[in-house]
Structure 1
């Protein structure tokens, strides 16, 4: 049976708690009526503890978990030091979603049994998300010391180091693991991987070759070897040996798994980049012909070259496969994406334009083409293209929104507003369209209409934080309906407490209400959340002024000025005046 990296990675899946009554692996296996041994010498208490334990098992069998908890709690009262009883009670607490009690009991279990591997592993499993990295590493190191034959703990700790890019620690750990388990191929593989990350290519090769020796059908170490052969710092004229090793390794992979698309694509690309164009062309043509019947091939290519950010390679792979079927929409789409990724927008557009309307990515392509025209500075072409597509798809929300943005940029507010209203005839409760309409109405000077539109959004979705914020801030900034504004902004803040702009709006309505200390508290938070955005810093400076904190006001106005956009001349002038006024207050 072929083995791949999937097999290797499965080793990391935690197995402590599965569905049903699965429990943490321990040294004991008890039956439904197994006697619970305790350290209590009192015969009456011993029988009582055992009785309650058996009672809990019957309750579990009848799925009455709350009664089982009560029974186990009574059993623990008689035998408070029982590991088995404590562990079973933790499981029941978790079963009833009483996580706090489970965590508390797990910590107590570790305190009372600091050298018990099962207790430590249980704590790790329960608190893996809340334990800080240092504490988690400390516990896992402790488990390794107590149970040096536990492969899974080595791997779990190694994964933590790898995820955190602590490669020196990972290297030490995997070396130790290889010493402990010299014939364990997974340990060899990860030791090779860490060495490769640290560019110790010779050491990495040794481990990958050893991995293959231990498990001859593994594919992933062979792919890693190919990457090493491709990246080793060898002068170009001396790379013949490595080029041959790459071909041989690809052939080995394809002997093990003849339909491995990653290897097929890699070999074709290798031929192409090493001037063996005829061989490359034949392989790419064969692959291109398979696209219609092998959708996985495309996704492998996307994952390897586009998601892997190997954009120059992606251009070669997709454009060469396209030669087998020049009208293939899928290949044209990904060829376009590849050229877009390398910054050749004109070529990208030329491929996107070949995509047929029945293709699943056609709508996305429309927006891509308009965006690329815009990035090329051809905004008129972008707008004209979108207008043509709008005629074909008058109900498409994305096209409406994007086309309206061009009208808005040209200050053609009436046409943009008309476009949104036309879209809302077919989708009257589309809050995305409504919000953009309301914001545009406000920008165009139709404040009353804007507020009516925002109210409609809130009627449709009372938890739309953006609409709540927009309407509340509109009231606050105009100094009207301040009590209603406060209620709206409190609701928005409850929904998104870490949104700097909503926090600013709430602070600003407190300012307008004359509650300056509350205003300062919220505006300080908003300024921190937005890295002292100009308007928010301006608000905070005003609040500092009202609380006689003139030095803080001066510094905040300066930050607002430093973040102001050059084109916002009125705001820059206003801030300079406020800075001068704050200086005068300080000098008084």
Structure 2
């Protein structure tokens, strides 16, 4: 059979075959082998173009059977099989094609890729080197060889290959770019920066190199150079979304939020789609407590893009932050069910309802959400907190235990359970839950503090309790609640001066906590400073919400007044 020449010069035949392709079956019953091969190849290309790779493979295999000398169908088969990870079949056709056209660089590169995919790196580099001998300026072959060297940590080999290539193609920006990446992998950062800069000189519109260079400056702890590089990148590539986002995020990490806002305003004017950048600006305004400005920006954005769930969510969050809870509820309700923001919008709605005093409505909402999203732990966590707030400690415990069945390793859930159990008077069970946390996380400051404080309350293991709380303080030196626990241990030990020192620190950090104020009063009472004790008891009474706590404090106030009167009787 005569070898078919690909591609065809006879356009009339091509158009005829295309008509055949879309004609009903049997319209052309008697095709010659040559025409059949043309037809099968065209059909294979058509099927591959439409993503039907199995059908395309069958067509190309028929072509090879009809014309065993045809190279192009072999190449197509090698590519198709390689794309499916069937490298043995791909190799069979690529090797056949290469034998027929030993100096075809594109086939050698394909063959090299297949060898590399099989992990046969020596064969891959030999094959790709042949391609470079034929065409020393072949960029793709060089990049593959250098990648193989780098993957096998043969950095010297990679650098030699790239430098040899750059002798032939001195101004190849890809050559310099790959050389920069190899130097970076090696940790030769100065050389990497030099090559990145050379790449930029040769192709200033190559966005990726700017981003990598700026990222390297960030890694090296040179944020000013990174910021300058991002800005240069945006001068050359004003539509680069990633450069914009990185610039803004770096400014925020540097604590330069006002500068980040200015950058957002400046960059937004250059963009067709300003939404993402302006949304980030609105979030910065929220972080800066400029809530009214954030709301104004988000309202304008939501008018332009009413379908954007992110904007509805953050506008609701801004309203919630401002205390406009009914508006927040309306916006949260506009977040669609298919949005990633939907579950959190449900949770925030429940929290808003609680703040409005509609606890039962919040509970119903969360119960329905748990049915829809049974694996979402946050719904159960919020539900348990509402039950706890309402005094339904048994339901809070039950809800948290259900959550722990889904996520038994969640130490935060265990800690919440410990607090609920303690509140319910199940002190031993509470201690057991907290100690389970310490078995998993021995340095967990919250669990250390819980166990230490509980022991202090019980008046047991006071030395060990002190050690645990001191350990917790190393992790959180400015935590007023942990400092209060340490003061309470000293109180239980009878060291009232030490207790007072710690409690003064605690109350300076958390001035409106009722328990800490009560502890301050208790210490002053022991020290005989009844006026100060009375003042702190009165403040504690005003801070406690529950009647039983107020009744307890009322008794202490009464006792303190008696002691104060008795003390005054002894005065001359």
TM-score, length-scaled by structure 2: 0.48
Whose radius of gyration is greater, 1 or 2?
Answer: 2
TM-score by length of 1: 0.47
